[in-house]
Amino acid sequence: MTQNANPHDVVRAVLLADYRPIEDSIDIVREKYSGKDAAFAVSFVDRDGTQRCALVGLCRHEGGWQPSGGFMGSARPIDPQDVWMTYGGWGPGGPKERAVVGGWVADPSAVAARLTDTTGDRVLKDNVVDGVAIFMWKGELDLRHARMELLDTDHQVLRAGPMRRMEHT
């Protein structure tokens, strides 16, 4: 990418190279910036006709915006105990980058999300925008022991559960 490439152009280039979207179906649903890091929630239809959801991470370096992580998923049935419809994330690509986790939440009426590391005292919060929550952080956060809560406009809990989806029996 060029020094002055628009981050949206970089996101589109990553999607076209890695995920086989139908180009005119790409929709950047949400973007979030923190320092030199950015995460973009994107929806698109792939070449097989499947609706996909992705999170693409970028980090601004001296040479411009560079990919730093990503995931792709698809809509799936939601169980009552689920807090995500689809989600993913990545760790920091270096000591100066942030870890990211996010995706589409399981309750369309949620306006905020709270992520709590139950083994420590770290709590992250994010507004849900267009059905998407994105958490970005530096340092330690054990997602294996984290819980997420989806909140309504009165900050009451709509759903709560493990950050990572457990397999249902």
pLDDT tens string 107-116: 999 999 999 9
pLDDT single digits (tens) 36-92 = 999 999 999 999 999 999 999 999 988 899 999 898 888 777 888 899 998 988 988
Q: Indicate the Cα dihedral angle 156, 121, 96, 98, nearest 10°.
A: -30
Unique residue bearing structure tokens 């689920």:
82
Q: What is the pTM of this model?
A: 0.91
Please state the domain extents for the chain: 7-162
What is the arithmetic mean of pLDDT over 139-162?
A: 92
Rounded to an integer, the average pLDDT of 82-107 is 89
| In the predicted structure, residue 16 carries a pLDDT above the cut 50 | yes
Are 146 and 87 spatial neighbours (Cβ–Cβ below 8 Å)?
A: no
Shortest CA distance to 88 belongs to which of 67, 74, 107?
74
